[in-house]
Structure 1
């Protein structure tokens, strides 16, 4: 079973991953976006780490809902609302339980991903974070490590795609050949989940 400490470890690991990869995320964002994806997420996840220490939420769902709210309030552009929606909806789906199973987490994240799809109007193949999140949630029923691999492969697979949603879609054919920064940061979030699980 996964307790509140597990979810705090997940958010802490995610913040550390974003810190490490911030320059890479911004470099990916530079040719097809606003060149601020890394710095925006870095600011947001640092704020998440700080608020989790201040407020010490008592359940897994409360950890995710607090983290999601903080991302919405501190991350600029589309990333804040999208990641905030993912975590808040997943947290709400987990309810007030003090411990949850990996299966419950997978279903909660599926709920979160569906909310992100509804908010952004994106589907798999549109060259967005959805391309990493959908395969990751599907693979989560096998293991956290499988989810990480699926997310990383999904992010890499965005490179040859033409963007159909988000800022990159304005570039049309010129978006082809660039790995999507949102899918890449989504893979970091899933990788941090596997790290928190020790896989």
Structure 2
């Protein structure tokens, strides 16, 4: 696979909705320890709405598709995650405007724009125990793949799929690395030192989203 079309991006989001529904209780358990106990429910609700309404979005223009998804998430996710995930998709949409498909370079630019938008909105930096700690390493992995493409025999699915596998793995590692961190942003920051020892739910949902994208690219 060399590119992701609008249809494939829609398939990713439908897969993500299924995964987030399946992992809803896990995310809620993570959030119960350091947040408001609603992250799993909020994410599942938002992506279920995306799945229900994605048929009405323009798949011929990836930018329009991503912007539409961002607007749905803004209006349905709730809590702090709605504005952050909405920003991720809407900032990515700006980079993808008018594109019929995204290659690796374009996808990396979209996710990097989304990351920058999240950081502007949430004022978070790496190490603050937020979704930035998963999305940042994933973006770095995609950019590294652009600089040093994998060997032809390394994995299946083509360069884009291999890069997404590595990005998803980087996001997983980033999410797990939030366990010892003391939260400096969001609801968890109110706990101070007591926030250490728990995996950040936002970083975890970001990993699940990217894992779903990688799975779609290799399907």
TM-score tier by shorter-chain length is over 0.9
| Other-structure match for 2:154 | none
Residues 151, 190 of structure 1: 8 Å contact kept: yes
| In 1, Cα distance between equivalents of 2:139 and 2:50 | 23
Paired residues of 1:3 and 1:59 also in contact (CA < 8 A): no
* Stretches of 4+ aligned residues off by more than 2 angstroms: 54-58
Counterpart residue number, 2:151: none
Residue in 2 aligned with 1:165? Answer: 185
Larger radius of gyration: 2
Q: Which moved further from structure 2: 55-64 or 173-182?
A: 55-64
TM-score normalized with structure 2 length: 0.88
Provide the rounded CA distance (Å) in 2 between the counterparts of 1:33 and 1:132.
Answer: 18
Would the aligned equivalents of 1:127 and 1:162 in 2 still touch at CA under 8 Å? Answer: yes
Residues 23-59 of structure 1 show CA distances to partners (whole Å, capped at 9, x for unaligned) of: 0000000011000000011110000011102334422
Distance 1:160 1:53 in 2: 41
Output one character per residue of 1:64-91: Cα deviation in whole Å (capped at 9) or x when no partner.
Answer: 1111100000011100000000011101
Shift of 1:10: 1.4
SS of residue matched to 1:2:
strand
The alpha carbon displacement at 1:193 in A equals 1.0
2:140 paired with 1:120: no
Q: Does 1:145 align with 2:165?
A: yes
Match of 1:136 in 2: 138
How far does the alpha carbon of each residue in 1:117-144 deviate from its partner, in whole angstroms, 9 at most, with x for none?
0000000000000000000011124200
Mapped to 1, the partners of 2:15 and 2:167 lie a distance apart of 16
Return the alpha-carbon distance in structure 1 between the equivalents of residues 35 and 102 of structure 2: 37
Equivalents in 1 of 2:72, 2:176: separation in Å? 28
What runs of 5+ residues in structure 1 fail to find an aligned partner?
none
1:18-57 correspondence runs (5 A): 18-57=20-59
Determine the C-alpha separation between the residues in 1 that align with 2:136 and 2:197.
21
SS of equivalent residue, structure 1 residue 23: helix
CA RMSD, aligned part only?
1.1
Q: Is the 8 A contact 2:57 2:65 kept in 1?
A: no
Partner of 2:174: 154
Is there any run of 5+ residues in structure 2 with no aligned partner, and where? 146-162
The reply to whether residue 194 of structure 1 matches residue 214 of structure 2 is yes
User: CA 1:56–1:95 in structure 2 vs 1: closer, same or farther (change >3 Å)?
Assistant: closer
